[in-house]
């Protein structure tokens, strides 16, 4: 494996007495698709939120391209090249599809307010608008352009989330349960898009509930239970891991056995 682009080291988050994420370690390389799974309350979303900057960790480190990024606000994380999608689609309702995607390219605009006033920002605008159209075509929303975002189907809204995040030319793309609420057909289409994203050299971190969606897609899977990593490996190995099966089927003995084995 090449040098990690994103590395998470002994990452911990406590909410009062509850340890939501406990000394979590994993690494993510360019072009890799890493799945992060676990039962409800395992700490997936908390981990996701710490990487995306929504929460500051209680302990541990998150490094991106060698530099620590934990505790930075979300807009700084995005500026560095880590973009995200939302589980519950969060479009900008008052903006067109193209403008939604262009907001994703926000950090690509050079020159400040002065550039807008003297008119030099127009060249950037034209270039980014062209790129936004590419992204819209890439996710397959080309036909829907011109439709108000509020009129998009749930699946199309998810695709818009992806196009918007891609417009920021991310090095890491975080997906928060991308298959949630999608039809099987839409899931398949989205899986193809995610593969295409990884082929572009973007590191993909998928938080997912749906094993049938994740296992064929991910190159590697990290499994969380009660905030701890209980498995880390290729999907084939994860599927048969007794600790994982135990965690999902609710057998605490098996889950703990798995954890002890690994330590």
For another protein, the closer CB: 10 or 92: 92
Residue 148 engages another protein in binding (rule: CB under 8 A): no
Measured from the Cβ of residue 195, the count of other Cβ atoms closer than 10 Å reads: 13
**What string of H, E and C letters represents the secondary structure of 146-176?**
CCCHHHCCHHHHHHHHHHHHHCCCCCEEEEE
The minimum distance between CB 121 and another protein, in angstroms, equals 5
Q: Of 101-109, 184-192, 199-207, 233-241, which segment contacts another protein by CB under 8 A? A: 101-109
Residue 106 engages another protein in binding (rule: CB under 8 A): yes
Q: Of 34-42, 111-119, 221-229, 238-246, which segment contacts another protein by CB under 8 A? A: 111-119
Residue 51 engages another protein in binding (rule: CB under 8 A): no
Residue 83 engages another protein in binding (rule: CB under 8 A): yes
Give 96's Cβ-side CA count (13 Å radius).
Answer: 12
The minimum distance between CB 64 and another protein, in angstroms, equals 14
Sheet holding 18-28, edge to edge: 18-28, 6-15, 59-64, 67-68
The minimum distance between CB 17 and another protein, in angstroms, equals 27
For another protein, the closer CB: 33 or 105: 105
**Contact track, another protein, 117-136, x by CB under 8 A:** x-x-x--xx--x--------
**Contact track, another protein, 158-197, x by CB under 8 A:** ------xx--x-----------------------------
Distance CA 41, CA 226 (A): 7
Q: What are the phi and psi torsion angles at 229 (to 5°)? A: -75, 125
Token reading at 241: 């891991």
DSSP letters spanning 93-155: TTS-HHHHHHHHTGGG--S-HHHHHHTTHHHHHHHHHHHHHHHHHHHT-GGGTTS-GGGS-HH
Size of the site for another protein (CB under 8 A): 34
**Which one among 90, 126, 237, 249 touches another protein, defined by CB under 8 A?**
90
Sheet holding 172-176, edge to edge: 82-84, 172-176, 203-207, 33-37, 220-225, 228-233
The minimum distance between CB 83 and another protein, in angstroms, equals 7
Residues at the interface with another protein (CB under 8 A): 52, 73-75, 78-79, 83-84, 86, 90-95, 99, 102-107, 109, 113, 116-117, 119, 121, 124-125, 128, 164-165, 168
């Amino acid at each position: 494996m090449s040098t990690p682009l994103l590395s998470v080291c002994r990452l911990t988050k406590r909410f009062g007495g509850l340890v939501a994420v406990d000394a979590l370690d994993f690494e993510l390389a360019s072009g890799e698709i890493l799945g992060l799974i676990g039962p409800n309350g395992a700490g997936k979303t908390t981990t996701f939120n710490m990487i995306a900057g929504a929460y500051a960790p209680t302990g541990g480190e998150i490094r991106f391209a060698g530099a620590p990024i934990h505790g930075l606000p979300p807009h700084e994380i995005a500026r560095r090249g880590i973009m995200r999608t939302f589980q519950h689609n969060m479009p900008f309702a008052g903006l067109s599809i193209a403008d939604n995607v262009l907001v994703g390219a926000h950090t690509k605009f050079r020159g400040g307010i002065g550039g807008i006033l003297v008119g030099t920002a127009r060249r950037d605008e034209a270039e980014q608008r062209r790129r936004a159209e590419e992204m819209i075509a890439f996710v397959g929303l080309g036909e829907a352009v011109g439709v108000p975002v509020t009129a998009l189907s749930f699946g199309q809204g998810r695709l818009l989330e992806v196009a918007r995040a891609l417009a920021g030319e991310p090095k890491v793309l975080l997906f928060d349960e991308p298959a949630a609420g999608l039809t099987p057909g839409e899931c398949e289409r989205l899986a193809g898009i995610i593969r295409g994203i990884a082929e572009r050299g973007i590191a993909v971190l998928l938080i997912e509930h749906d094993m049938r969606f994740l296992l064929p897609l991910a190159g590697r899977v990290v499994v969380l239970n009660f905030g701890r990593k209980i498995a880390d490996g290729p999907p084939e190995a994860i599927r048969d891991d007794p600790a994982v099966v135990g965690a999902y089927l609710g057998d605490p003995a098996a889950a703990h056995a798995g954890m002890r084995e690994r330590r």
